[in-house]
């Protein structure tokens, strides 16, 4: 055998053209075998059983895939022009198979018309109801919303809205998803919903200020619940209650769910229980939700729920519904070039992305960045792509701390956070993404000690450099921003030179978390900081504290120091 191989080797060395010819024939034969095995139009023999895929008909995906866990793997089975849906829809389609009917292969119809048959066949699961007008000030669907300028799909939007119990899902600009319980705008021409989805070009995701709207037919009526209402507290009844909370209804069998459901249906973000009266409205200067009362003042049993409190005529028990307060959701670029460059400076992990979210909601203008982060742009920070000197954004995110870089800005908001929390947050971001977490192996391995050794000194020098070289610096502590968002945001907006609209700031309080807040630092089974680390970081804290007080500023919060 060895002699035979040796002879072949010598032969092909003398005849290289024949070798490459045989190689090409071999590859061609392999390609034909591969194409044959993947060919879906297999020949049908009379009397032979049909494949599962064929049983679904030419216009529908094989529904057996839908029995898998919810996800995007089912996408591969969806033909072009079809719509994808998750397992939370009914599978009650009774469409007869039209296999064998002649197909119209003419290419004259538009992509919107090609997808119409798919919509009609899937009405029992998610019914496409049309193209609707939309605008940034009065949204057509006023529930939850989220953006993804890279991976948005029809399925993903429907899935997110259905999981939260909404009746409608709408897609706009190819990348924006809106949910709601009521459509509050007129129809538009189908031709105006003409933008491809960013994550699947075979489907349409609305247009410019146009929504492609679906009605979500939930598998169970009980899934249409509003159980994610947020408890805001007990508050004294405002003086002009009929103006502050304009919609109300008498409910003799009052319960929290009934009042929340009523206000959600009426498209209000606040549900206030006042004994046997349910009141709905928005946070406003008449009812700002800033002065909470003792919850015992609202501890009056509900008529329909023995273990729930329903407030009283004088003290209201307030919940935040799923309805999104759209008074602060419109954002745009500055209409004219900014006269000054304002930095939003922070050490990494100090909450810069969250602060940008708050500033954009409070001012209505996009924020920019000294860098470019594609993941942030894809999630809705449209100023991320602009050059930081473009002058189109209200402020510029930066982690820089050199003298030259700092002096490039006319003023700055300096965001400072507890170094113990900031270091852990940045470590999580580095190894887990903006809202993810580092793996346990990273905490236990050499990565964490090396990270602390390199980043802890930077936490101190970053603040010291901005205090030294910054021209006009407003210091904001992350902890103060969390504790008193309204007052701190007023200070930040004033430095940016934008008139502070009170109702808009109150709206921000209800939307403060955004899409870039971790669910909470993952609890470790041990303290990641060694005594040596704490000793070093404690010295940096004292240095920063002294530098702040030297400039007649308040020092670092007390919780910076370990007890």
Is residue 401 within 8 A of residue 462, CB to CB? The reply is yes
Does 410 or 373 have the greater pLDDT score? 410
Higher pLDDT, 16 or 84: 16
Q: Is the pLDDT of residue 71 over 50?
A: no
pLDDT in the model for residue 352:
93
Res. 336: pLDDT tops 90: yes
Handedness of CA 187, 192, 197, 198 (dihedral sign): negative
95-113, pLDDT tens digit by residue? 333 433 444 434 333 444 4
DSSP annotation of 352 reads H
Q: pLDDT confidence of 146, banded at 50, 70, 90?
A: confident
Q: Could you give the CA distance from residue 366 to residue 385 in angstroms, rounded to a whole number?
A: 11
Joined tokens for residue 85: 């849906």
Identify the band that residue 325 occupies on the pLDDT scale cut at 50, 70 and 90. confident
Q: What is the pLDDT of residues 210-238, one digit of tens each?
A: 999 998 875 333 334 445 688 888 999 99
The pLDDT-based confidence of 4 (bands split at 50, 70, 90) is low
Residues 397 and 535 in one domain: yes
- Shared domain for 313 and 429, answered yes or no, is no
Confidence band of 517 (pLDDT split at 50, 70, 90): low
pLDDT of 121 strictly over 60: no
499 and 380 in a common domain: yes
Assess if residue 424 is contained within a domain: yes
pLDDT digits (tens, 9 = 90+) for 187-212: 999 999 999 999 888 899 999 999 99
Is the predicted pLDDT of residue 360 greater than 50, yes or no?
Answer: yes
State the pLDDT at residue 69.
30
Domain boundary among 154, 185, 216: 216
What distance in Å separates the CA atoms of residue 271 and residue 245, rounded to the nearest whole number?
A: 9
**Residue 194 · residue 212 · CB < 8 Å:** no
Which of helix, strand or coil describes residue 239? coil
Look at the block and give the residue holding tokens 């939700």.
Answer: 289
Q: What is the pLDDT of residue 543?
A: 95
Looking at residue 7, its pLDDT comes to: 65
Question: Is pLDDT above 90 for 144?
Answer: no
CATH of the domain at 481: 3.40.50.300
Instruction: Answer whether residue 475 is part of any domain.
Output: yes
Exposure pattern of 227-247 as b/e (b: 16+ CB <10 Å)? eebeebebbebbeebeebbee
**Predicted pLDDT at 80:** 37
Given this model, what pLDDT does residue 562 score? 64
Q: Do 523 and 388 lie in a common domain?
A: yes
Mean pLDDT of 318-334: 88
How are beta strands 411-416 and 342-346 bridged, if at all? parallel
User: 517 and 396 in one domain?
Assistant: yes
Record the tokens describing residue 307, joined without a space.
């273990």
Distance between CA 221 and CA 165 in Å, rounded? 9
Q: Is the pLDDT of residue 480 over 80?
A: yes
Question: What is the mean pLDDT of the segment spanning 305-310?
Answer: 81
Q: Let me know whether 277 and 133 are in one domain.
A: no
Q: How many folded domains does the chain comprise?
A: 3
Please give the average per-residue pLDDT across 289-305, as a whole number.
88
The token pair that represents 462 in the structure block = 């970053």
105 or 324, which is more confident? 324
Instruction: Please say if the pLDDT value at position 419 is more than 50.
Output: yes
CA 396 to chain centre: 21
Residue 67 has pLDDT above 50, yes or no: no
Q: For residue 220, what are its two tokens?
A: 């169970």
- Nearest residue to 237 via CA among 300, 289, 302: 289
Question: What would you report as the CA-atom Rg of the chain, rounded to the nearest whole angstrom?
Answer: 30
Residue 184 lies in a domain: yes
Considering the domain boundaries, does residue 403 fall inside one? Answer: yes
Look over the chain and give the mean of its residue pLDDT values, rounded to a whole number.
78
Same domain, 185 and 272: no
Q: Are residues 399 and 544 in the same domain?
A: yes
Q: How many CB atoms lie within 10 A of CB 264?
A: 24
Q: Is residue 140 part of a domain?
A: yes
Domain boundary among 182, 216, 250: 216
* Angle at the Cα of 355 from the Cα atoms of 353 and 356, rounded to 5 degrees: 65
Q: Residues 260, 382: one domain?
A: no
Per-residue pLDDT tens over the stretch 245-255: 999 999 989 99
| Proportion of the chain above pLDDT 70, given as a percent | 74
The mean pLDDT value for 504-518 works out to 75
| pLDDT given at position 384 | 92
pLDDT of residue 515: 60
Which one of 169, 184, 216 terminates a domain? 216
User: Which residue's structure tokens are 């954002």?
Assistant: 331
Bridge-based pairing of strands 210-216 and 230-236 is: unpaired
| The two three-digit tokens of residue 246, written as one number | 């304009």
Q: How would DSSP label each residue in 313-337?
A: SSEEEEEE-S---GGG---B--SS-
Task: Evaluate if residue 118 carries a pLDDT over 70.
Answer: no
State which residues form the domain around 361: 342-560
Q: Identify whether residues 199 and 296 lie together within a single domain.
A: no
Looking at residue 244, what is its pLDDT?
Answer: 93
How far does Cα 466 stand from its chain's mean position?
32
pLDDT at 281 over 90: yes
Q: Which two tokens stand for residue 129?
A: 């109801």
Q: Which residues lie below 8 Å from residue 441, measured CB to CB, with a gap of 6+?
A: none
Q: Which of 10-24, 59-73, 139-153, 459-473 has the lowest mean pLDDT?
A: 59-73
- Say yes or no: 413 and 292 in one domain: no
Choose among 399, 408, 401: nearest CA to 426: 399
Confidence band for 373, pLDDT divided at 50, 70 and 90: confident
Of 29-38, 105-114, 499-508, the poorest mean pLDDT is in 105-114
- Would residue 376 count as lying in a domain? yes
In this prediction, residue 491 carries a pLDDT of 94
In degrees, to the nearest 5, what angle opens at C-alpha 30 toward C-alphas 29 and 35? Answer: 100
pLDDT at 6: 58
At 466, the pLDDT band (50, 70, 90 cuts) reads: very high
Most confident of 226-230, 344-348, 481-485: 344-348
Q: Indicate whether 70 belongs to any domain.
A: no
- Which residue is it, tokens 């205090």? 467
Q: Alpha-carbon distance 398 to 108, whole Å?
A: 51
d(CA 519, CA 350): 16
Mean pLDDT, residues 526-542 taken together: 91
Least confident of 159-163, 297-301, 527-531, 533-537: 159-163
* DSSP per position, 452-470: HHHHHHHHHHHHHHHHHH-
**How many other β-carbons are positioned within 10 Å of the β-carbon of residue 123?**
15
Same domain as 182, residue 134: yes
Check pLDDT > 50 for residue 47: no
- From 264, 265, 279, 266, select the one nearest 316 (Cα to Cα): 279
- Residue 252 domain-assigned (yes or no): yes
What is the value of pTM for the model shown?
Answer: 0.62
pLDDT value of residue 44: 37
User: What pLDDT, on a 0 to 100 scale, did the predictor assign at position 119?
Assistant: 43
């Amino acid at each position: 055998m060895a002699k035979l191989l040796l002879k072949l080797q010598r032969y092909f060395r003398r005849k290289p053209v024949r070798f490459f010819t045989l190689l090409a024939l071999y590859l061609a034969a392999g390609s034909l075998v591969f194409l044959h095995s993947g060919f879906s139009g297999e020949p049908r023999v009379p009397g032979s059983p049909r494949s599962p895929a064929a049983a679904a008909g030419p216009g529908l995906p094989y529904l057996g895939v839908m029995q898998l866990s919810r996800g995007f793997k089912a996408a591969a089975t969806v033909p072009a022009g079809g719509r994808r849906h998750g397992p939370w829809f009914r599978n009650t389609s009774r469409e007869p198979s039209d296999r064998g009917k002649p197909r119209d292969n003419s290419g004259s119809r538009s992509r919107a018309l090609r997808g119409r048959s798919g919509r009609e066949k899937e009405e029992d699961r998610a019914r496409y109801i049309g193209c609707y007008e939309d605008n940034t000030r009065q949204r057509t669907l006023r529930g939850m919303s989220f953006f993804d300028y890279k991976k948005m799909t029809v399925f993903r939007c429907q899935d997110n809205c259905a999981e939260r119990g909404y009746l409608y899902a709408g897609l706009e600009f190819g990348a924006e998803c809106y949910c709601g319980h009521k459509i509050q705008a007129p129809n538009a021409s189908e031709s105006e919903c003409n933008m491809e989805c960013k994550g699947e070009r075979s489907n349409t995701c609305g247009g410019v200020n146009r929504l492609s709207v679906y009605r979500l037919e939930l598998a169970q009526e009980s899934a249409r619940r509003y159980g994610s209402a947020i408890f805001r507290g007990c508050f004294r009844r405002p003086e002009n209650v009929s103006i502050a909370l304009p919609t109300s209804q008498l409910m003799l069998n009052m319960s929290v769910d009934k009042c929340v459901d009523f206000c959600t249906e009426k498209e209000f973000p606040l549900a206030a229980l006042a004994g046997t009266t349910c009141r709905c409205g928005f946070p406003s200067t008449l009812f700002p939700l800033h002065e909470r009362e003792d919850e015992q003042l609202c501890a009056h049993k509900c008529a329909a729920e023995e273990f729930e409190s329903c407030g009283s005529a004088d003290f209201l028990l307030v919940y935040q519904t799923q309805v999104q307060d759209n008074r602060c959701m419109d954002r745009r670029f500055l209409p004219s070039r900014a006269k000054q460059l304002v930095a939003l400076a922070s050490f990494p992990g100090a909450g810069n992305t969250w602060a940008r979210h708050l500033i954009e909601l409070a001012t209505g203008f996009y924020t920019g960045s000294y860098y470019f982060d594609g993941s942030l742009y894809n999630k809705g920070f449209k100023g991320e792509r602009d050059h930081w000197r473009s002058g189109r954004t209200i402020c510029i995110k930066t982690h820089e701390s050199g003298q030259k870089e700092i002096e490039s800005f006319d003023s700055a908001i300096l965001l400072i956070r507890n170094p113990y929390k900031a270091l852990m947050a940045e470590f999580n971001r580095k190894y887990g993404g903006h809202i993810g977490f580092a793996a346990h192996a990273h905490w236990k391995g050499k990565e964490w000690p090396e990270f602390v050794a390199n980043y802890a000194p930077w936490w101190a020098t970053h603040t010291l450099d901005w205090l030294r070289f910054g021209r006009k610096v407003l210091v904001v502590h992350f902890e103060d921003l969390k504790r008193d968002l309204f007052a701190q945001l007023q200070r930040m907006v004033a430095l940016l030179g934008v008139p502070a609209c009170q109702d808009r700031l109150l709206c921000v309080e209800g939307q403060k978390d955004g899409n870039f807040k971790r669910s909470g630092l993952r609890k470790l089974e041990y303290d990641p900081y060694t005594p040596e680390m704490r000793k070093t970081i404690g010295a940096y804290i004292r240095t920063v504290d002294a530098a702040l007080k030297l400039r007649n500023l308040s020092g670092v919060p007390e919780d910076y120091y370990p007890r």
